[in-house]
Amino acid sequence: MNESLVKWTLLNNLEFLGKSLDFPIAGKKGQEITSDFGRIDFVLEDFQKRELIVELETLLNSRNKLDQCFTQVLNYKNVKFADQTEYCILYASETNSSAQEKVIQFGRTNDVLVKTYSLNEVRRLYATTVERLSLSFGLALPKPANYTICYLRWLNKILKPFHDTGKDFLEAKTLAGYFTSHKTTNFRCYLRLALDFEMIRADGKLFSITQNGKDYIQNFDIAIHRSSNLSSVNLTNEQKKVLLRVITNGNWTAHKVNVYWFLRFIEVTKGEWIPNIKEFDRMKLDLLNGLFGVSYKARTMYEFLNFACNWCAELDLIEQINTNSRYDQLYLTPLGIEINNIFSLDLQLKRNRLNLNFKYLD
């Protein structure tokens, strides 16, 4: 379990956090605070207005992590938001005993509080917290699902027959004009993509093109007309706008929800890693299965993340940094941040509607 998930879990369970710190928490003053002396994990306040600046860590089993933690805390001691301020290292009790002794000694020498929490307890608390929040809001978002659709531009292949024929209604056989058959798994995958992105709709035995689909095919790249591989023709800016309108319309279909979950993955991990190998660290896999509420094997999770990453990159929501290692890095573009904010607002509105309090009418 990484530090971001631990932090989210602790700050959503202040009673548990207060007991771990032996600090009566009146409220959280801030988190991820940027200062001239580093980024502070979070600051808490008690009922006497005393403040506690916390350096949160998971396992401190390596010399490098210990040194980094100690240096960061000493830097924090140059920061004060209230007259009565204390400083604390909060780390996982599963850390080996020799490292724990070093942390305790550092605390005594430098007048820094040292507290621990159990990673195993926090893992259980994370699961119950997600469940509690889902129940309290009354809204359960669909889980992400892995599909063998690598790129959104693959919509070209299934929508081109509407452009070629000029018709608004097509049979499956005609719609599969650029496929071997309308009965293949390949065609059905493309069909699901077009349905979920609201490009077409099923009308009995026919498929009709929606206004979204019409806007999409009207803005084909000119290269589409001379390409022998329709799925390789990149999206135009106008097509990206169409897809972004569909993604943010609040209708959470199976494919569209994957974009939300991928942006949430970047939020939780701060974009610090995405695997570029099919067999990656078990700890990272466990974290992702917990975050998404699934039980994927490493290869399936790798495919899901990288397919969703491709989609977001096509829509200019993210940038990927090649690190020449087993894991690349990601960051949200300004457009990606805006889309992520729209998702959050949409979900909040849905929750508010479901939990509307009618007591004022009584």
Concatenated DSSP letters for 193-213?
Answer: HHHHTTSEEEETTEEEE-HHH
Q: Which amino acid is at 143?
A: K
What pLDDT was estimated at residue 115?
97
pLDDT tens digits, one per residue of 101-115? 999 999 999 999 999
| Euclidean distance between CA atoms 179 and 82, whole angstroms | 68
In angstroms, the Cα distances linking 176 to 182, 189, 207, 230 are: 5, 12, 11, 13
Containing 247, the helix (H) or strand (E) segment is helix 237-247
- The CA-to-CA distance between both ends of the chain, in Å, stands at 46
Rg (CA), the chain: 25
pLDDT tens digits, one per residue of 177-232? 899 888 898 899 999 999 999 999 998 889 999 999 999 999 999 999 889 899 89
What pLDDT was estimated at residue 136?
41
| Euclidean distance between CA atoms 211 and 251, whole angstroms | 16
Q: At what angle do helices 282-292 and 298-314 cross, to 10 degrees?
A: 70
| Euclidean distance between CA atoms 55 and 88, whole angstroms | 6
Taking alpha carbons only, the member of 149, 28, 139, 41 closest to residue 89 is 41
| Euclidean distance between CA atoms 76 and 25, whole angstroms | 20
SS3 content of the chain, % helix, strand, coil (to 5): 50, 15, 30
Bridge partner list, 203: 206
For the record, the structure tokens of 355 come out as 């939990």
The pTM is what? 0.67
What pLDDT was estimated at residue 360?
61
For the record, the structure tokens of 214 come out as 């019409």
Q: Which domains does the chain have, with CATH numbers?
A: 3-134 (3.40.1350.10), 138-362 (3.90.241)
Contact indicator for 339, 317 with CB cutoff of 8 Å? yes
| Cross-sheet strand order for the sheet of 200-203 | 169-171, 206-209, 200-203
In angstroms, the Cα distances linking 261 to 84, 163, 300, 322, 329 are: 41, 32, 15, 22, 17
Cβ neighbours of residue 311 closer than 8 Å, sequence gap 6 or more: 151, 152, 258, 259, 262
% of residues, the chain, pLDDT over 70:
94
For the record, the structure tokens of 18 come out as 């207060």
Contact indicator for 46, 25 with CB cutoff of 8 Å? yes
Taking alpha carbons only, the member of 126, 58, 128 closest to residue 291 is 126
Q: Where are the beta strands (DSSP E) in the chain?
A: 27-35, 38-45, 51-56, 85-92, 113-117, 169-171, 200-203, 206-209, 274-275, 318-321, 327-332
What pLDDT was estimated at residue 135?
43
CB atoms near residue 322 (< 10 Å): 8
pLDDT tens digits, one per residue of 291-302? 888 899 999 999
Taking alpha carbons only, the member of 163, 202, 157 closest to residue 176 is 157
What pLDDT was estimated at residue 133?
57
Taking alpha carbons only, the member of 190, 192, 172, 191 closest to residue 182 is 172
Residue 263 in this model has a pLDDT that exceeds 50: yes
pLDDT tens digits, one per residue of 84-103? 999 999 999 999 999 999 99
| Euclidean distance between CA atoms 257 and 306, whole angstroms | 15
Q: What is the mean pLDDT of the chain?
A: 89
